[in-house]
Structure 1
Amino acid sequence: MARVVQFTAPRQAEVVEFQPEALPPGHVRVRTAFSGISAGTELTAYRGTNPYLTRTWDPEARIFRDAEAGVAFPVVGWGYSETGVVSEVGEGVTGLAEGDEVWGIWGHRSEAVLPAEKLLGHQLPPGVTLSSAAFARVGAIAFNAILSARINLGELIAIFGQGVIGLLATRLATLSGAQVVTVDAVESRRAMSLTYGALTSFTPGTAAEHIRAFTPSPSSSGAEGVGADAVIELSGVYAALHEAIRAVGVGGRVVASGFYQGDGNGLRLGEEFHHNRVELISSQIGGVPVELSGRWSVDRLQQTFLGLVGQGAVDVEPLISHRVPIDNAADAYTLLDTRPGDALQVLLEF
């Protein structure tokens, strides 16, 4: 029997068995090695706050509708950061072979049957391990935010939130030629951001003042600087988004890349946002910035990121704080839900 993680109710995770699928032509069977838990989007499903649990997404109109829920408990096989080994190849498949190490999205399950086309080009590049490849999706999320920020050489970029995606964004922004400062409530994460290229790191609350003091003054008399050229907000906290808006200069860009829940308490758009004519945009892994869509895709983001890992430009292994056997999956979710400051990337091992 195969195994899969499911959420049976809010804050209740368990591992259940299922009968392995037959292998149709044009498909491959993958035996999972690692599956990364998303400490953002995935926890909203675990906690029962994800909008899909109360509304339905209309993909044609591209709006949520207050109809029946699009997803209901039990939520089975959530997860989008999987790696594994091709264990069986169906009739008519070319470009993949038994033993190939691959990455992709098939959820927290011990094995999956997938159309071969979904894994073409997803073999691990040189220098990338199965555990490192589990960062393909979160790396692409960070990469997407970097592209959305339109970073220019020498600009000051502030990155709010130094979890896994925030730390990767810090490294990628540094590679893009930016001067980077970071913001996070957890001291260990602020310290780690320095090893990933940040010049300095601030605690929330007064970060905007510190960031402005870090930049040149707009005049010879000024006590405060012009502010950051752009800010990437990854914590998903409305108060942090408001502070990010306060931190940019006139006409500065704020990339909202966190997954914000509920009403926008703490976000006041009549203040700095209005007076400084701040540009606020959303970055979401469902697509790349529209102006780049002719050349970039989500798959290119993922493959380029893994290429950087393979070349040694981005080191993801220090971000793995826990490797949890699949049988202990419930403990992993409890950890991320109740003690988020004690963990970074949690990998489920199969």
Structure 2
Amino acid sequence: MYASVIAAPGQAVLQRVERPEPGAGQVLLRLEGSGVCASSLPLWEGREWFDYPQPAGAPGHEGWGRVEALGEGVEGLSVGDRVAALTYRAHAEYDVADAAAVVPLPPSLAGVAMPGEPLGCAVNIFRRSEIRAGQTVAIVGIGFLGAVLTRLAAQAGARVIAISRRPFALEVAREAGAAHTIVMVDHWRIVDEVKRLTDQKLCERTIEAVGLQWPLDLAGEITGERGRLVIAGYHQDGTRQVNMQMWNWRGIDVVNAHERDPRMYVQGIREAVGLMASGVLDAQPLFTHRLPLDRLGEALELTRTRPDGFLKAVVTT
């Protein structure tokens, strides 16, 4: 099969490698494509703790496609089923997955790109946010994740304030149901605007979806008394400082919304599939860049630089 290999920082090459075989309790997937995740950027940029070349197909974990073969003991799946799956070497033509990490896709989603892991991640973050109708919810950072969360919060009856540095992203947020949008350029102007919009009460829920220090600071500032601050951004470039005095004084609940239990990821994928099948969620416009597998490096660079018009890239086989 062909697989993309990150051979060195900033270097992805297409190689012909041996196709994997499913073991007991596993399935072999003929992948249609995989999403490109921002969590892959440290590997792409290079850190001293990574080894190169990486395994073929790594670190792709957002694949979808069809079941090609079943390992011993697998029940409830058939060859030819179209599925989303949680795997770990999905930047390739084939990958193996544990049968428990495979989610069948209904006929209504035929032909639809379905990188299940990021959609499931958004659903899990939304669940842990405990957003209710009538609440004011600020979402700091409108990329793919922030856009999905905006849609889910608006559908739940919340008033969403979307905050992002890019006018394009704010337009996406408006289309997803945001009631208000604020350009993320001036910390205290943003705080004052949120106070104005909330009659000085600030937000019952704030979701930080950037993964950097300043947006985390801002998210804390605009979370009201007894509110909930949900950390959805992937903080991976060092330690963070927080204003614990303010958090204590306001009685803020702080939730790290990153799951580590694969079962919870799969449950989120199942719920996301249901939301898409029912028409509550349409993620297709958010896949703004689609590239073939041999252009994974370009997809990763787009993810790193985030040019105007970019939300998320997928690579297809």
Same fold (TM over 0.5): yes
- What is the distance in 2 between the residues matched to 1:337 and 1:228? 30
- What is the distance in 1 between the residues matched to 2:211 and 2:249? 23
Pair 1:208-2:191 in alignment: yes
Q: How many residues align?
A: 310
- What is the distance in 1 between the residues matched to 2:45 and 2:31? 25
- What is the distance in 2 between the residues matched to 1:189 and 1:29? 37
- What is the distance in 1 between the residues matched to 2:167 and 2:53? 36
Runs of 5+ consecutive residues of structure 1 not aligned to the other structure: 55-70, 217-224, 289-295
| Secondary structure in structure 1 of the residue aligned to 2:235 | coil
Number of the residue aligned with 1:194:
174
Question: Taking structure 1 as reference, are residues 282 and 25 closer, same or farther at Cα in structure 2, changes over 3 Å only?
Answer: closer
Which of 102, 109, 114 pairs up with 1:128? 109
Question: Taking structure 1 as reference, are residues 129 and 209 closer, same or farther at Cα in structure 2, changes over 3 Å only?
Answer: farther
**By how many angstroms is 1:341 displaced?**
3.8
Number of the residue aligned with 2:155:
175
Which of 258, 261, 267 pairs up with 1:284? 258
Alignment of 1:72-87 (within 5 A): 72-76=51-55, 77-87=58-68
| Secondary structure in structure 2 of the residue aligned to 1:133 | coil
Number of the residue aligned with 2:82:
101
The answer to whether the 8 A contact 1:34-1:130 is kept is no
- What is the distance in 2 between the residues matched to 1:157 and 1:238? 20
Question: Taking structure 1 as reference, are residues 95 and 211 closer, same or farther at Cα in structure 2, changes over 3 Å only?
Answer: same
| Secondary structure in structure 2 of the residue aligned to 1:95 | coil
The answer to which of 326-335 and 180-189 deviates more is 326-335
Paired-residue identity, %: 25
Q: List per-residue Cα deviations over 1:244-288 (Å, max 9, x = no partner).
A: 1110112221111111133456x4515633543333221103249
The answer to whether the 8 A contact 1:28-1:90 is kept is yes
- Per the normalisation by structure 1, the TM-score is 0.81
Question: Taking structure 1 as reference, are residues 137 and 27 closer, same or farther at Cα in structure 2, changes over 3 Å only?
Answer: closer
Runs of 5+ consecutive residues of structure 2 not aligned to the other structure: none
Alignment of 1:286-301 (within 5 A): 286-287=260-261, 297-301=264-268
Q: List per-residue Cα deviations over 1:228-256 (Å, max 9, x = no partner).
A: 11100001111001011110112221111
- What is the distance in 2 between the residues matched to 1:261 and 1:95? 38
Higher Cα radius of gyration: 1
| Secondary structure in structure 1 of the residue aligned to 2:104 | coil
Q: What amino acid is the match of 1:74?
A: P
| Secondary structure in structure 1 of the residue aligned to 2:290 | strand
The answer to whether the 8 A contact 2:3-2:14 is kept is yes
**By how many angstroms is 1:86 displaced?**
1.6
Which of 229, 240, 248 pairs up with 2:223? 248
Q: List per-residue Cα deviations over 1:98-138 (Å, max 9, x = no partner).
A: 2111111232111123444443xx1102422354321x211
- What is the distance in 2 between the residues matched to 1:89 and 1:144? 29
